[in-house]
Amino acid sequence: MIAIDIGGTYTRYKIKEEIFVLKTEEIKLLEFLESLIKKYSPKKIAISFAGQVKNNIIYSSPNTKFEKIDLSEIEKKYNIKIILENDLNCAALAESRYFGIENIVALYSGTGLGSGIIDKGKIVKGRGFGGEIGHIPYKPTPFKCSCGKNNCLEFFASGSGIEKMSKIYNCNGFDCNKVKEEYIKALMYAVGVCFSLFDPEILVLGGGVIVNNPWIVKEVEKRKDKYIPKFNTQKIELTKLKDASLTGAEILLKERK
């Protein structure tokens, strides 16, 4: 069995207890999967993917170069089981198991901005694409997202958003107070939406931008009362997991037939 996490910047995969890391932009997905199958002959592969997925089809991937891909072709060709799930759904599943609770939201700010929701121990995703908080309309920008809009929340509260804001303000990321303030306001908007809609027992913050900038969590704690209704729990934690999405893919390997 092989667990794979394909993120906006890096792809990680785990063979037994060893983790390998590649740059996502350097791989061609179908060729990559076929090379792993030919080398290791797994019976099952679970993939955590940074994008919109449903029924083993990748429909959209705003932060990678991948276009629509149907993985059922690989399943049939090699008589192998492939489990494809959104990366934040995988992360939320891993966070739920780590904290030992059945109602949790994972809000991650990395290359993009995403959320995963677990309710009563199960992933919540509507008809397949639920939880895409990064694409909630926020305010207009000069940029167009691959989802077709120019006003996505992700433009302000993600690593790719920080790069875009830096171009607008002609500065270098969080060295610019305007960029920092735009980022934290957008992130707090996401935090408020998550608590108001899903009422989680815990909201877990993660992703490279947050993990590498400890001041963000302190700022969220300082501002949370202005964004979260008083009737919500308001419990916020920084992720303790190093590769939550990959861990979630491993869980799916064990639990999905």
- Please check whether residue 190 is in contact with residue 157, taking contact to mean a CB–CB distance below 8 angstroms: yes
Rounded Cα distance, 75 and 109, in Å: 32
Number of domains in the chain: 2
Q: Which domain holds residue 35?
A: 2-88+244-255
Same-domain check for residues 167 and 108: yes
Q: What pairs with residue 2 in β-bridges?
A: 15, 45
Same-domain check for residues 170 and 66: no
User: Would 94 be classed as within a structural domain?
Assistant: no
- Please check whether residue 204 is in contact with residue 99, taking contact to mean a CB–CB distance below 8 angstroms: yes
pLDDT score, position 52: 86
What CATH number is attached to the domain comprising 80?
3.30.420.40
Handedness of CA 215, 242, 116, 137 (dihedral sign): positive
pLDDT in tens, 101-119: 999 999 999 989 999 999 9
> What is the three-class DSSP state of 20?
strand
Rounded Cα distance, 29 and 32, in Å: 5
pLDDT, tens digit only, all 257 positions of the chain:
899 999 888 999 999 889 999 999 899 989 999 999 999 999 999 999 988 888 999 887 777 777 788 999 899 999 999 999 999 999 999 999 999 999 999 999 998 999 999 999 999 988 777 888 999 999 998 888 877 889 999 999 999 999 999 998 999 999 999 999 999 999 999 999 999 999 999 999 999 999 999 999 999 999 999 999 888 888 999 999 999 999 999 999 998 87
Same-domain check for residues 197 and 108: yes
User: Would 95 be classed as within a structural domain?
Assistant: no
Same-domain check for residues 109 and 207: yes
Same-domain check for residues 159 and 228: yes
User: Would 55 be classed as within a structural domain?
Assistant: yes
Same-domain check for residues 145 and 19: no
User: Would 93 be classed as within a structural domain?
Assistant: no
Phi, psi of 6 (to 5 degrees): -105, 105
Same-domain check for residues 31 and 113: no
Helices 87-99 & 244-255, crossing angle to 10 degrees? 80
Same-domain check for residues 66 and 17: yes
Same-domain check for residues 132 and 77: no
User: Would 229 be classed as within a structural domain?
Assistant: yes
What is the pTM assigned to this prediction?
Answer: 0.91
